[in-house]
Structure 1
């Protein structure tokens, strides 16, 4: 049987980038969903919040044109991109596909 630390080495680093703006109403609708996921999944992925007004260079790099935009990445690159308010189940499916 493999130790838990060995199994954790096999897990990819999974990141969910949340592109938002303070003035964005749909972004405020998305926030509680992401907060619940982050709590329920207990460290299986990282959330990076990107304020597009303050971090335009990152938003441009990811070609963000609408808000909210969620980008799920792992060590291999982008796994999924969602534009608009996204349901929890869709995000969970993408996180699982990414290896979280």
Structure 2
């Protein structure tokens, strides 16, 4: 994973995402998920482009079921934008990078 992308877990999620002063894009994914792998390069590019304005993290839903359950993640990839500890936007599926940029721009 790129250095700009935070690896999120059930243990660090609240601290890294909910208490972040910057908006955070969270990619809910799994190793076996083809569309998740397809969107990963776009997620990493967005992390670089928004460095200093927003944060980007990935949460493996197989390894971190508490957080995935808390947000009702049913299909992956699901990407949620958090601001001030609240979900302000949601993107589902392997979408073009521009969709991720649009979602984050609204929160920045």
Tell me what 1:75 maps to: 84
State the partner residue of 1:86. Answer: 95
Alignment of 1:23-62 (within 5 A): 23-62=32-71
Task: Find runs of 4+ consecutive structure 1 residues off by over 4 angstroms.
Answer: none
Q: Please list every run of 5 or more consecutive structure 2 residues that lacks an aligned counterpart in the other structure.
A: 1-20
Which is higher, the Rg of structure 1 or of structure 2?
Answer: 1
Uncovered stretches (5+) of structure 1, i.e. residues with no partner: 1-11
Superposed CA RMSD = 1.3
Q: TM-score, normalised by structure 2?
A: 0.76
Give 3-state SS (helix, strand or coil) of 1:32's partner. helix
2:10 is matched with which residue? none
Distance in 2, Cα, partners of 1:36 & 1:76:
23
